[in-house]
Amino acid sequence: MLKEGQFMAAEETIVLDQPTGSAGTTRVNVRVIDIIAALAAQEVEGVASLRGSISDRAQEAFGFMVRGKGVEIVQTETGLTIDVYIYVNYGVSVPKLAVQVQERIMMQIAAMTELTVNTVNVHVEGMISPKTATTIDPNNLFGEEETVEDAQ
């Protein structure tokens, strides 16, 4: 059993409240909550990305979807506390962005699971400038093909 304030392991599940007359229980893996929170945060304009490991970024470069990164969840008797770790785009208002991220995460989790989220702590890990926001061309991973800019 999870103790109050203890971080949840990926294999932990949360039992959802059941409607009257239901025939059983519904359990949701905590990774599902991670995914909902991560996707909700990434939908907010101004969020460049969530914190992830180098292997997460490598997988994303090859088109794999890495979800739940940059999200930590603690379950208490009264609900969930979520910590989300983000990188923001240069020029955005960090306080306004943080409020939007908090609202979006709380709304999505409530809509999809009916779970109570007490707190969403937004941790800004860094800022991405337009010059450092680069993309990887999967057809030219090693820069062997000459681009139009290189030819000039």
How far is the C-alpha of 141 from the C-alpha of 135, rounded, in Å?
A: 10
pTM: 0.70
Residue 7 pairs in a beta bridge with 74
The alpha-carbon radius of gyration of the chain (Å, integer) is 19
Per-residue pLDDT 10s for the chain (152 aa) are: 344 555 544 458 887 877 777 788 888 898 899 999 999 999 999 999 898 744 455 555 555 555 557 999 998 888 999 999 999 999 999 999 999 999 999 999 999 999 999 999 999 999 988 765 556 565 665 666 665 555 55
Closest CA to 28 of 118, 120, 117, 112: 112
Sign of CA dihedral 13, 14, 19, 25: positive
Domains and CATH numbers, the chain: 13-17+25-133 (3.30.70.1350)
